Amino acid sequence: MMLFHAMMAGLAMTAGAMASEQEGAQDNSPPAHPPIVPAGPDPVYPADFYAPFQPQTALDMLERTPGFLLSEGNSLRGFGGAAGNVLIDGQRPTVKAGGITEVLRRIGAARVERVVLLRGTDAAEAQGQTLVANVILRTDGGGSGNASLKLSHTRDGRISPSAQISHARKIAGWQSNVELSVEQVRYPIDGIYHISDGNGMPTETRHERIIGKAPEIGLAASTSGALAGGTLTLNLRLNRDGYESDRAIMITPTDGAAMIERTIGYDEKGRSGELGLDWTRTLGKDWSAKLVGLGRVERLTTNEDYVEPGYRGVSTLAQKPLELVGRTTLTRGGDHMLRPELGMEIAYNRLNSALDYAEDNGSGLTPITLANANSRVSELRGEAFANVTLRLGKRWTLESGMAFELSRIRVTGDAANKQSLSYWKPSAALVWSPRDTSQLRLGIRRTVDQLDFGDFAASVNQADGRPLGGNAQLRPARVTRALARADHRWGKGGALAVEAYHQWHQGMLGYLLLPTGDEALGTIGNARQWGISTQATLPLDAALRGARLTLDGTLRGSRMRDPVTGDNRKMDDIAPRSLTAEFRHDVPKLRSSWGISYTAAEQGDVFYTSERLTWRDDAAFDAYVETTALAGFKTTLRASALNGQDYHRLRRFYSPSRAGSYSGQEQRNQWEGAIVSLTLAHAL
């Protein structure tokens, strides 16, 4: 906290001095939050609402929208299943997971007219999202751009830079923008291991030091204009990234034997390219048609070299994913009692994977065979869907939908396989809006988890001594989710949303033994998950003008029958609770803001066939100060993980499986330390 107070005092004094010089006796401070303008049940936040937050981009604005949490979507195959919760002028950008942040970052705050929150939508543009932000741009926007430079100081005393520059303008009637970004992130980590046997007696202690770094460079561009009676939008993304680390581990046996040094070199490199196109045309009487095309290609290579006295393990994994998607929808908008939407999607996915794994126990490297070490997985999938929104009255709405999915998966390699799958995916929701500021939603939806093609192929984690075989028989899990959600907004930025849910999982994936004896992912049974989540934005003007508190928390529970022990247990990697909170205070007279955020500790379990792994991330505090007192710039000083970033992991081993006897454990504690960063952002 002393560091935070020093940060605040320094920037506040600078801001105050510069503000006094530039303003004299005049008060040109940004206005207080204007009232929220409701649009029926959907609240509207005009651009002026965000002025106290000093936004530079549309991304900054969405991060300060009351009760809204940005969802990037996910990396599922296809386009519809990976929907995020952001629309631009009512249309979903033709980018996959992660791309929406780049799109929003390229839009200057000056180009945004307003943000409309759509509370619940069953439309294909944002499938399954209960809160969607529609960013409406100004029609008279001219050229604009943004540039930022960030310097981050890590606990090893090194400074890592990152920078982005973007520009948008009309070229021959086409609204175009481009962004170039470069980043270097460092991960200095120290750790200690305590190893004990089945009787609880210590056998060795390990001290480790990891120096990791992750460079990344990306280019993103888009253009939009009139074509063939409609509007065509093109999005291009090129990316090159990687991660490399050197890990040194000193092993001290408790029996007095000599100390052992272990080194692990890890190198991961990736290249990707993505091109998306969207053509939308109005057909009349509030009908519109949309065609979407998307292609993505990647090249991924991972190398690991594990060395200690008397042993060496070397592995190389090369993967080449490919994705092609075509999608069309026909939608009726406007204020009609019945609003249908029809569409279909066709997608082709392919992954070529090759793993070379060898061990040397003193007589030279010997290849180690794993199931499906060299494989090719391909899927041709089609989906047809129909959604209908029916207005039952002034305050009641019924949303319903049905989709049918058909796919054919083919695996070639050591364990060749073909399978054809088909699923019905219904959904329904009843929405009641007793007033413009409140809404209650009851819904149920059935979805199908998309398989990760990497799980069809073999992989190896040498640091943990965990080789995994590939399973050519994988089938996706089916999930039925029922929910009740209440959303209420009030005053100048107050928002509260509470959602309770229950999920039924059929054909859950987990770890099992293949007939070859290799451990791999496979179907292990059914499961249930339930929980309650809350998002809140609470203005605190009554106590401190310009202050607000935001909260996001979830309580979860789950249960399934363990296929190894026969006992009931939790689902893999489901944290029973999560919480983030932020206090922010805007000081318009100083053209500055400051805040403190808190992330609660989280814990989860992963169940392997002969091991139970429990992980825990400790709680962390962040603090920041930002100011626009420096003319033309937004300056942000941030301290992340003021109390350090601590990670814990406990591996408990059993023989011959978790149904057998306890054989020992490995306790690992790691700490990364605080990160202090300085960011300068400038609107071009």
Q: What is the pLDDT of residues 208-251, one digit of tens each?
A: 999 999 999 999 999 999 999 999 999 999 999 999 999 999 99
317 near 359, Cβ under 8 Å? no
Q: What is the pLDDT of residues 136-170, one digit of tens each?
A: 888 776 678 889 999 999 999 999 999 999 998 88
Q: What is the pLDDT of residues 362-391, one digit of tens each?
A: 899 999 988 888 999 999 999 999 999 999
Alpha carbons 212 and 342: distance in angstroms, whole number: 48
Alpha carbons 651 and 670: distance in angstroms, whole number: 14
Alpha carbons 277 and 234: distance in angstroms, whole number: 5
CA nearest neighbour of 683 among 629, 631, 626: 631
Alpha carbons 597 and 584: distance in angstroms, whole number: 8
165 near 180, Cβ under 8 Å? yes
Alpha carbons 466 and 459: distance in angstroms, whole number: 9
Sorted by where each begins, the domain ranges of the chain are 39-140, 142-291, 310-539
Residue 652 burial by Cβ neighbours in a 10 Å radius (0-12, 13-18, 19+): middle
* DSSP helix/strand/coil, 6: helix
The owner of tokens 């965000």 is: 50
- Report in angstroms the alpha-carbon separations of 365 from 310, 312, 314, 495, 585: 12, 8, 8, 62, 61
Residue 111: φ, ψ to 5°: -85, -10
For residue 501, give every residue at least 6 positions away whose Cβ sits within 8 Å of its Cβ, in sequence order, or none: 481, 482, 483, 484, 530, 531, 532, 533
- Whether 39-140 and 310-539 share one fold: the answer is no
Alpha carbons 129 and 124: distance in angstroms, whole number: 10
Q: What is the pLDDT of residues 483-535, one digit of tens each?
A: 999 999 998 889 999 999 999 999 999 999 998 889 999 999 999 999 999 99
Q: Which CATH number is 39-140 given?
A: 2.170.130.10
252 near 273, Cβ under 8 Å? no
- Whole-structure pTM value: 0.85
First vs last C-alpha separation in the chain: 35
Q: What homologous superfamily does CATH list for 310-539?
A: TonB-dependent receptor, beta-barrel domain (2.40.170.20)
CA nearest neighbour of 322 among 347, 302, 293: 347
For residue 290, give every residue at least 6 positions away whose Cβ sits within 8 Å of its Cβ, in sequence order, or none: 91, 278, 279, 280, 281, 327, 328, 329, 330, 331
